[in-house]
Amino acid sequence: MVAPLRIALAGLGTVGAGVIRLVEANADLIARRAGRPIVVTVVGARDRNKDRGVDLSPYAWEDDMVIMGEREDVDVVVELVGGSDGPALSCARTTIEAGKALVTANKAMIAHHGLELAAKAEAAKVALKFEAAVAGGIPVIKALREGAAANAIERVYGILNGTCNYILSTMEDTGRGFGEVLSEAQAKGYAEADPAFDVEGTDAAHKLSILAAIAFGSKLDFAAVETSGITRLTAADIAQADALGYVIRLIGMADTEAHNGSQRLFQRVQPHLVPFDHPLAHVDGATNAVVAEGNFSGRLLFQGAGAGEGPTASAVVADLIDIARGEVGTPFSVPVAELEAMAPAGAGQRQGRAYIRFMVADRPGALAEITAAMRDAGVSIESLIQKGRAADSGAVMVAMVTHEGPESAVSEAVRLLKGSDSLLEAPLVLQILGD
């Protein structure tokens, strides 16, 4: 009989408990597909006495999760602790240095330390797998690394944070404001008590940096991701977008551009206006979706649950099945030494259309000042809408959509208006997602 693959679970939250349930419920199916049984032998978490809804009595308990990989009864450690540093990173380093494989759902750790861990794994000839770190149960990393491996990926983008997508699609459906819908999302468990990591775009930026490295063979560069979240969006923005034929979604986007014989990497997380007829416009609730455009495959769309016990546990166990089959590979498709260090690409010369929203004082000349700044910056206005004065603030909403042009021109117009007494707050600029 083939020896089982013995795993240790570091972290027993929602996903850790889900991994136990999945491994137990589908044990025979998993063994057939993996070619050997996959069994949990060791578990560990911060609180030994917490009720997690699963029977932990069959498993050894390890108080020190950092040393799980050094145990003789463990072949693979599944790290589900979370956090870019601290115990999670120590556990990952110790596991790989002990010659054991590591599976993780920790996008923050991979975004910040993935190159270091991948280099260690390659040197030790062990697997480092992190399918569950990006888009939950959607096998997008495997798709890019294997299914689309013959393609030069031209662009990768998508909806990478379920919390933000739930908030935006609910605002769209109900007409309610950001704060009210955020509170509802927290009550339903879609948003954390401190939601900043999600609503400010950091979570999506972590995931985007990982996808970009795999898609373009570039070194991870999370620090270069231009990031803005959804906190400034209002119900009026959602309604105005709808009137213009768009929905608003938080989009992470990465592509490359040639510059003086080398490639530069563009990475940005920002709310976009998405046309009604685009596939991402129909992604509602806490769902994730990723689009990859290959030079031979064309547009590939991957959509599904981006978080939650079942989908994320499914991605973790899929990685374990690969390891049980003896698949090691290189974590980022090519060896770390061959990943290209791409300089960041600025947004200035990118061509596109934009939605710009101003909140202005209700007085003569305010609109003329805005249009003059647009003219002086070389921004061509496609449409302009002025809403009446809001009863509670006296502010007037002016929204416009630009013709296609360089993003630098819009930035210049905003600069020209900086400090204007006509503006009650900084303008909100959202790009319009093109084909």
Output the pLDDT for position 389. Answer: 59
Average pLDDT of the residues in 285-289: 93
Active site residues: 207
**Quick check: 434 pLDDT over 90?**
no
Instruction: Encode burial over 272-307: b for 16+ CB neighbours within 10 A, e otherwise.
Output: bbbbeebebbebbebbbbbbbbbeeeeebebbbbbb
Q: What is the pLDDT of residues 133-150, one digit of tens each?
A: 998 889 999 999 999 999
Nearest Cα neighbor of 16 from 85, 92, 80 is: 80
pLDDT in tens, 35-70: 999 999 999 998 888 999 999 999 999 999 999 999
Question: In this predicted structure, what is the pLDDT of residue 362?
Answer: 84
Long-range interactions of 52-56: CB distance < 8 A, separation 24+: 52/12, 52/16, 52/17, 53/17, 54/17, 54/20, 54/21, 56/12, 56/20
Domains annotated for the chain, with CATH where assigned, are: 5-133 (3.40.50.720), 140-305 (3.30.360.10), 351-432 (3.30.70.260)
Helices 14-25, 27-34: inter-axial angle, 10-degree rounding: 80
pLDDT at 291 over 90: yes
Type of residue numbered 61: W
Task: Read off the pLDDT band of 2 (50, 70, 90).
Answer: confident
Q: What is the pLDDT of residue 349?
A: 81
Q: Is 308 a residue whose pLDDT tops 90?
A: no
| pLDDT tens readout for residues 218-235 | 999 999 999 999 999 999
**Mean pLDDT value of segment 305-315:** 89
DSSP string for 333-387: SS-GGGSB-PEEPPSTT-EE-EEEEEEEESSTTHHHHHHHHHHHHTPPEEEEEEP
Residue 322 near residue 360, CB atoms below 8 Å? no
Q: Which of 111-125, 327-341, 387-401 has the least mean pLDDT?
A: 387-401
pLDDT digits (tens, 9 = 90+) for 10-23: 999 999 999 999 99
Asked whether residue 387 carries a pLDDT value surpassing 80, the answer given is: no
Which residue, among 401, 391, 393, has the nearest Cα to 361 in the 3D structure?
Answer: 393
Q: What is the model's pLDDT at position 255? A: 95
Banded model confidence at residue 411, pLDDT cuts 50, 70, 90: very high
Residue 392: predicted pLDDT: 56
pLDDT tens readout for residues 341-384: 999 998 778 999 999 999 998 888 889 999 999 999 999 999 98
User: Does the pLDDT value for residue 208 go beyond 60?
Assistant: yes
The rounded mean pLDDT for the chain is: 93
pLDDT value at position 431?
A: 97
Please check the confidence at residue 390 and state whether its pLDDT lies above 60. no
% of the chain with per-residue pLDDT over 90: 85
pLDDT at 403 over 60: yes
Averaged over 204-213, what is the pLDDT? 97
Which is more confidently placed, 392 or 286? 286
Render pLDDT for 154-194 as a digit per residue (tens, 0 to 9): 999 999 999 999 999 999 999 999 999 999 988 888 888 88
